[in-house]
Amino acid sequence: MMNFSRFGTHLLAASLLALGLSSCDPATVGAMKWNADQRAALSTISVPTASVDRSGYFTPMGGSNVQSPIVQTGGGFAQGAAVNAGVAIIFEVASGIEQKNFESKYGTAIQSVGANVPGDLDRRVSRSLADQLGRHGFFRGKVTNSSANRLTVTIEKYGFVRSASKGGETLVAPTLYGTWELTLASGKSIARQQFAAASPAHQRTVTEFANNRDLTHKAFGEATTAVANVVVADINRRLGDQADHTTRAFAARSEKNQEPVQLADVNPVELPRNNRYGFKQGFNSFTSQPNAEFMVDGHKLKIAATGNGGILFVMKPISPLTGTRLSVDSAEYRSVRAALAAGGVGISNQANVASFGVKTGFIIELDGDGWSVLQKYRK
């Protein structure tokens, strides 16, 4: 395990921040769009196993000048502004605690938590990225191991970085820093970008991560999914008009019997002006409500979906007496979840749609095309 003095830790923090935000080659990074010849050359693409620098693990950081990048997974709709494929980066400046105090409070856990970091980060990153590209509007059907066009990922630094404070405790999130590059069969690199990625769904104390190997593996798993989301968002910017902007990345795969992450309530007035949601199917943009009618397990529902069916907005038909009230605690929600599960689609994240404290519907973020699964319930 790497040991840093207070100065060394702060120096590392600065270098990691630079790694996550700076460009390294003006000719291939940034938002430069690919031309027609470059897009045509991408008739197939391979995703080799990622490279992980095994010496890149760093001691958990909680110093006051550490800025921690938290990247939402999938087409997420939690806090933060969306960027293309739904990736949002939130920078929180940690304050009120010095690294030395952090180390004093969590010293034992800091020394032992590294042993719980999964040893297969390379394969996790590659699987997530290949899976995302396989369902992407431009790359669908083009991902093959035999392609000489290579999308490579290198994880250069990884560890636990301060993400928030709660109840006097410092929370950290597993965070991955590195570089991705797309090289054509000719050997020419047409994209190279640095990134920082983590999962906001798993922010815990170092002690919790040190005491729970399964939790740590799950959290790093979501961080590797976030890497794939970051890469896909960058690729969408380079594809420009050729990208299928209605095909957002699906959420991280939902494990069997896993409870969805509960996100903050969504105000309905946000829906038509926030392209993060991008409801394209069964959605009335004038009323900001779903208008496609379904009957699920005896429940009359109205449902809207994003272009790829990965996010659903569910309401009940409006009653002249009671209006419409619906939440993730309802029988209707449980029926929709069961119907999706029967079709092999899980719910990863969920949020109530609420105005002035009244819950009128819910939004669910899925790990697959739920819209297609529910079509057999369409009225």
Which pLDDT score, from 0 to 100, does residue 200 have?
Answer: 58
Same domain, 14 and 159: yes
Residue 255: inside a domain: no
Given a cut of 50, whether residue 62 has pLDDT beyond it is yes
Which pLDDT score, from 0 to 100, does residue 195 have?
Answer: 85
Distance, CA of 105 to chain centre: 30
Same domain, 184 and 71: yes
Residue 249: inside a domain: no
Residue 353: inside a domain: yes
Residue 1: inside a domain: no
Q: b vs e for 39-64, b when ≥16 Cβ sit within 10 Å of the residue's Cβ?
A: bebbebbbbeebebeeebbbbbbbbe
The pTM assigned to this predicted structure is 0.60
Q: Which residues form the domain of 323?
A: 261-377
What stretch of H or E contains 162? strand 150-166
Same domain, 34 and 104: yes
Which pLDDT score, from 0 to 100, does residue 321 have?
Answer: 54
Same domain, 325 and 284: yes
Residue 326: inside a domain: yes
> Rounded to 5 degrees, what angle do the CA atoms 267, 269, 271 make?
85
Same domain, 349 and 238: no
Same domain, 164 and 304: no
Same domain, 73 and 222: yes
- Of 214, 242, 270, which marks where a domain is finished? 242
Which pLDDT score, from 0 to 100, does residue 199 have?
Answer: 67
- Of 242, 269, 303, which marks where a domain is finished? 242
Same domain, 194 and 340: no
DSSP annotation string for 167-200: TTEEEEEEEEEEEEEEE-TTS-EEEEEEEEEE-T
Which pLDDT score, from 0 to 100, does residue 290 have?
Answer: 92
Tokens describing residue 154: 């290198």
Residue 305: inside a domain: yes
Same domain, 93 and 192: yes
Indicate the number of domains in the chain.
2
Average pLDDT, stretch 128-157? Answer: 90
Given a cut of 50, whether residue 139 has pLDDT beyond it is yes
Instruction: Please state, in angstroms and rounded to a whole number, the distance separating the CA atoms of residues 228 and 128.
Output: 6
Residue 248: inside a domain: no
Same domain, 193 and 333: no
- With beta carbons less than 8 A apart as the criterion, state whether 340 and 373 touch: yes
Tokens describing residue 206: 């170092």
Same domain, 208 and 280: no
Same domain, 235 and 367: no
What is the 8-class DSSP label of residue 126?
H
Task: Tell me which residue of 282, 267, 309, 284 sits closest to 75, measured CA to CA.
Answer: 309
Given a cut of 70, whether residue 82 has pLDDT beyond it is no
What are the tens digits of pLDDT across the range 299-313?
A: 999 999 988 888 999
Task: Tell me which residue of 211, 23, 228 sits closest to 116, measured CA to CA.
Answer: 211
Higher-confidence position of 374 and 24 = 374
- Of 213, 242, 271, which marks where a domain is finished? 242
Percentage of the chain surpassing pLDDT 70?
A: 75
Given a cut of 50, whether residue 236 has pLDDT beyond it is yes
Given a cut of 60, whether residue 247 has pLDDT beyond it is no
Residue 66: inside a domain: yes
Percentage of the chain surpassing pLDDT 90?
A: 39
